[in-house]
């Protein structure tokens, strides 16, 4: 499928949603800027759709800088990297090149740039003398650089520098950015921050005031923490389905688990990148109150993988990976309705009775081959 076709299908899916249908599905490639900014879904909600899954939480090249504090204080991420945002560097059209330490304060007679306290990536530029501040976002940030000081495992601090090389817009929730690491001595490009996603892009979402545990998938919203979420990993890919963290961390965490086929809700994925995945739920626009019976009635050749609740998968029919059977799915330790079960095997969905049909539910399907 070409990029143009992916973008066209994304727009078709959006149109279908606005018409109240949930039977059509789009892919997770972003659309052109001309189609952006016209659709607004409630934060933390979802719209589902079809794309290709991933088993990753964080792209390998992002492990040292994927989370940090906006104010320049030291922060230790899930991998043990201690990171400090040391400089925000931006070429302002009026004031020229500005380089500011977020832990410092404004100096009289000098312009200052800061990452704004916003859910999206946004810069605020304060003029050197007087006047109102200016804000920049999206494509205006191409060329912006972030310089970090990083320590790992008690070692010496080193500098890691990233630059925004490109942007695109996802109508399901804001801007996507292509970050590259830069040699801090020569300013030459070193490597992309994000690996290539299953649809060929290297974009990332920027979540302000969000923290994601890279091993358990736990999500919370501490003030001042910034999370760079590559679309090659579950936290970034979730946004391409329409599921965002702000205001609904529990929903976002479950969406991530579904994308990674984390059946046992213990961080272990029962999939690998590239398997097809269709996501539905029981709360998004056009899907309110959807039940397991409703999903069965509308499969249209697709296969049901399973139904999910906040503690992981509740029942399973056909595992996402075609080399696995239902008997291969076993959870050494699993929480079920608040009780701990050992060597738990999920029941088949075709005979499963949902004990709480009104609770948060996701439904995962795999696409038919036709």
Q: Label residue 3 by pLDDT band (50, 70, 90).
A: very low
Q: Tell me the pLDDT tens digit for each residue of 164-219.
A: 999 998 767 689 999 999 999 999 999 999 999 877 899 999 999 999 998 888 89
Q: What is the pLDDT of residue 14?
A: 33
Q: Tell me the pLDDT tens digit for each residue of 263-303.
A: 999 989 998 888 889 999 999 999 999 999 999 999 999 99
Q: Tell me the pLDDT tens digit for each residue of 17-27.
A: 333 332 223 23
Nearest to 68 by CA among 88, 91, 98: 88
Q: What is the mean pLDDT of residues 130-149?
A: 96
Tokens of 336: 């079920």
Q: What is the pLDDT of residue 27?
A: 31
Question: Strand runs (DSSP E) across 31-185, as ranges?
Answer: 49-52, 67-69, 75-76, 81-92, 96-100, 112-115, 122-126, 134-137, 145-152, 158-170, 174-182
255 or 25, higher pLDDT: 255
Q: What is the pLDDT of residue 51?
A: 57
Chain centroid, CA 77 distance in Å: 17
Q: What is the mean pLDDT of residues 329-337?
A: 93
Q: What is the pLDDT of residue 85?
A: 98
Q: What is the mean pLDDT of residues 243-252?
A: 91
Answer yes or no: is pLDDT of 1 > 80. no
Domain ranges of the chain: 3-55+233-366, 60-211
Q: What is the pLDDT of residue 39?
A: 23
């Amino acid at each position: 499928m070409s990029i143009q076709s992916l973008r066209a299908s994304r727009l078709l899916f959006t149109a279908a949603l606005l018409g109240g249908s949930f039977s059509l599905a789009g892919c997770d490639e972003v659309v052109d800027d001309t189609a952006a900014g016209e659709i607004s879904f409630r934060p933390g909600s979802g719209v589902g759709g079809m794309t290709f899954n991933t088993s990753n939480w964080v792209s390998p090249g992002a492990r040292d800088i994927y989370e940090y504090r906006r104010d320049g204080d030291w922060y230790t991420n899930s991998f043990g990297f201690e990171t400090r945002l040391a400089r925000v560097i931006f070429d302002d059209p009026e004031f020229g090149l500005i380089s500011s330490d977020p832990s410092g304060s404004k100096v009289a007679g000098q312009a200052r740039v800061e990452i704004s306290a916003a859910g999206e990536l946004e810069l605020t530029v304060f003029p050197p003398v007087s006047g109102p501040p200016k804000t920049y976002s999206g494509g205006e940030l191409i060329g912006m650089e972030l310089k970090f000081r990083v320590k790992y495992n008690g070692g010496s601090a080193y500098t890691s520098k990233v630059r925004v090389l490109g942007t695109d817009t996802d109508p399901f929730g804001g801007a996507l950015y292509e970050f590259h690491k830069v040699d801090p001595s020569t300013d030459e490009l070193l490597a992309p921050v994000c690996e290539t996603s299953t649809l060929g892009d290297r974009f990332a979402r920027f979540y302000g005031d969000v923290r994601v545990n890279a091993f358990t998938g736990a999500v919370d919203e501490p003030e001042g923490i910034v999370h760079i979420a590559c679309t090659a990993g579950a936290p970034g890919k979730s946004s391409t389905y329409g599921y965002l963290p702000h205001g609904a961390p529990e929903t976002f965490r479950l969406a991530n688990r579904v994308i990674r086929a984390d059946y046992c809700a213990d961080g272990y994925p029962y999939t690998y990148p590239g398997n097809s995945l269709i996501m539905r739920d029981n709360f998004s626009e056009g899907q309110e109150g959807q039940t397991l019976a409703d999903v069965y009635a509308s499969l249209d050749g697709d296969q049901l993988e399973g139904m999910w609740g906040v503690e992981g998968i509740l029942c399973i029919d056909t595992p996402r990976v075609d080399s696995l059977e239902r008997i291969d799915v076993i959870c050494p330790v699993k929480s079920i309705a608040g009780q701990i079960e050992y060597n738990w095997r999920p029941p088949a969905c075709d005979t499963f009775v949902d004990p709480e049909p009104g609770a948060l539910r996701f439904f995962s399907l795999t696409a038919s081959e036709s």
